[in-house]
């Protein structure tokens, strides 16, 4: 074994050691949750979905689909938005947070889309769409599956320069930068297609989705949601990491933080405005006023007005007046709005005509596993930021 290889292995082993106190309140609370969640996941794989979930033939989509896939994927859309802004539109202002956005997107797809395997009855067939056993070129579900895989690979390649810099692989890093642009363009294209592809899955359930939520434009709505939802996540997550990991962030990025948030707020507001315009057109097209005077109609107004128009006004006002706290609150509300919208397709709008006694409600174990996925992602995110140069200022020649 060469000396260089020994040095790399020794360095990696040293980095695996904790870099701070182990028995912190966060660790003490989250570690047992993750441990119990892993036990529940093991039970699910050995005894089947029925042992831990309330899913049925009538309601095959549950909390894991609603949150991990339908909600987590648009929240991870900030990566392709920032890549487009920096590499295609040449908005260099956002380059300091590009690596963090890519990391967030990579972890989001790895954990949330990866958690889709938990929801598959025959999970051992999960790789069939990828190995060619059963290609379904005309299937929206196949499109989503193959694009999930390809886009996750693209995001991994986009993040590899950070790993190469961490391990001091300069030659490999230069090679990665030479292929960055085509990989990023491919990633943006794939993300556009599968974000809309999630909406295409809804199109096939026309008779089962409430008219207020079903439309031929649902794939377009899903794509636009991934833009403002992804940017909102960048604002929200960036605000937290800027405070929690301030010791890892260079002063140059600290000084640009507020300016970056204001710019992101403008972009988020623009996408949210386009989404709401299309939503209004859909409402008029289906004569939505015939449905709003009902419980489900009122809930629709809560989604669109309370977590659509309200955060839009807050984002516009916050960007105009440079009110950073208002922008952060609005971003959180926009994220919640995306979650409510996606949850509605699974819990509310789907088979809305059935009585409550026949509808699906997640079991406590489904909720626990969802919390496990989120907390595990946070642990991995913390580990990477504390070790790798995620917030390092890139040199001009790169």
Give percent above pLDDT 90 in the chain. 54
Say which residue the tokens 């929200």 belong to: 236
Give the chain's domains with CATH numbers. 50-385 (1.20.1630.10)
pLDDT tens track for 30-72: 999 999 999 999 999 999 888 999 987 778 888 988 898 899 9
- Could you tell me the two tokens for 308? 């659509």
Q: Rounded mean pLDDT of the chain?
A: 89
pTM: 0.92
Q: How confident is the model at residue 337 (pLDDT cuts 50, 70, 90)?
A: very high
Residue 362: what pLDDT?
Answer: 92
Q: What is the pLDDT of residues 62-94, one digit of tens each?
A: 898 889 889 999 999 999 999 999 999 999 999
| 3-state helix, strand and coil shares in percent for the chain, rounded to the nearest 5 | 75, 0, 25
Tokens of 78: 């900030």
Q: Which residues contact 184 (CB under 8 A, 6 or more apart)?
A: 83, 87, 88, 154, 158
Q: What are phi and psi of 28, to 5 degrees?
A: -65, -30
Tens of pLDDT, residues 92-144: 999 999 999 999 999 999 887 778 888 887 787 777 777 666 666 677 778 88
User: CA nearest 307: which of 240, 241, 232?
Assistant: 232
Residue whose C-alpha is closest to residue 148's, from 103, 115, 101, 99: 115
Rounded to whole angstroms, what are the CA distances from 284 to 37, 205, 244, 290?
45, 21, 45, 10
Closest CA to 354 of 139, 12, 59: 59
CB 323 within 8 A of CB 317: yes
C-beta atoms surrounding 342 within 10 Å: 24
DSSP letter string, 138-180: T-HHHHHHHHHHHHHHHHHHHHHHHHHHHTT-HHHHHHHHHTH
pLDDT above 50 (res 315)? yes
- Distance between CA atoms of residues 75 and 276, nearest Å: 18
Q: Is the Cβ–Cβ distance between 157 and 176 less than 8 Å?
A: yes
Question: What is the rounded CA–CA span in Å between residue 250 and residue 382?
Answer: 17
């Amino acid at each position: 074994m060469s000396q260089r290889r020994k040095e790399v292995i020794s360095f990696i082993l040293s980095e695996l050691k904790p870099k701070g106190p182990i028995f912190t309140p966060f660790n003490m609370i989250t570690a047992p949750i993750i441990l119990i969640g892993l036990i529940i996941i093991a039970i699910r794989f050995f005894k089947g979905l029925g042992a831990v979930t309330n899913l049925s033939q009538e309601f095959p989509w549950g909390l894991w689909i609603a949150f991990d896939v339908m909600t987590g994927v648009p929240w991870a859309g900030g990566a392709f938005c920032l890549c487009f802004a920096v590499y295609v539109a040449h908005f260099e202002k956002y380059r300091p947070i590009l690596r963090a956005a890519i990391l967030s997107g990579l972890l989001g797809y790895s954990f949330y889309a990866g958690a889709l395997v938990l929801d598959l009855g025959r999970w051992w067939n999960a790789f069939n769409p990828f190995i060619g056993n059963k290609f379904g070129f005309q299937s929206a579900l196949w499109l989503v599956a193959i694009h999930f895989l390809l886009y996750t690979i693209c995001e991994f390649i986009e993040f590899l320069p950070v790993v190469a810099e961490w391990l001091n692989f300069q030659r490999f890093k230069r090679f990665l930068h030479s292929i960055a642009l085509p990989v990023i363009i491919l990633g943006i294209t794939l993300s556009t297609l599968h974000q809309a592809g999630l909406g295409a899955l809804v199109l096939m359930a026309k008779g089962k989705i409430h008219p207020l939520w079903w439309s031929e434009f649902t794939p377009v709505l899903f794509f636009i949601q991934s833009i403002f939802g992804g940017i909102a996540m960048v604002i929200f997550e960036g605000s937290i990491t800027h405070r929690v990991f301030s010791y890892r962030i260079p002063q140059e990025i600290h000084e640009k933080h507020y300016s970056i948030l204001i710019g992101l707020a403008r972009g988020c507001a623009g996408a949210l405005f386009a989404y709401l315009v299309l939503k209004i057109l859909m409402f008029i097209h289906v004569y939505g006023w015939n449905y709003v005077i009902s419980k489900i109609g009122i809930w629709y107004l809560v989604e669109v007005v309370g977590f659509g128009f309200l955060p839009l006004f807050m984002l516009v006002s916050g960007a105009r007046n440079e009110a950073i706290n208002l922008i952060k609150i609005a971003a959180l509300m926009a994220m919640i709005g995306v979650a409510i919208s996606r949850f509605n397709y699974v819990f509310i709008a789907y088979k809305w005509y059935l009585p409550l006694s026949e509808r699906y409600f997640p079991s406590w174990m489904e909720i626990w596993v969802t919390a496990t996925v989120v907390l595990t992602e946070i642990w991995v995110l913390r580990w990477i930021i504390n070790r790798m140069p995620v917030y390092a200022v890139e040199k001009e020649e790169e």
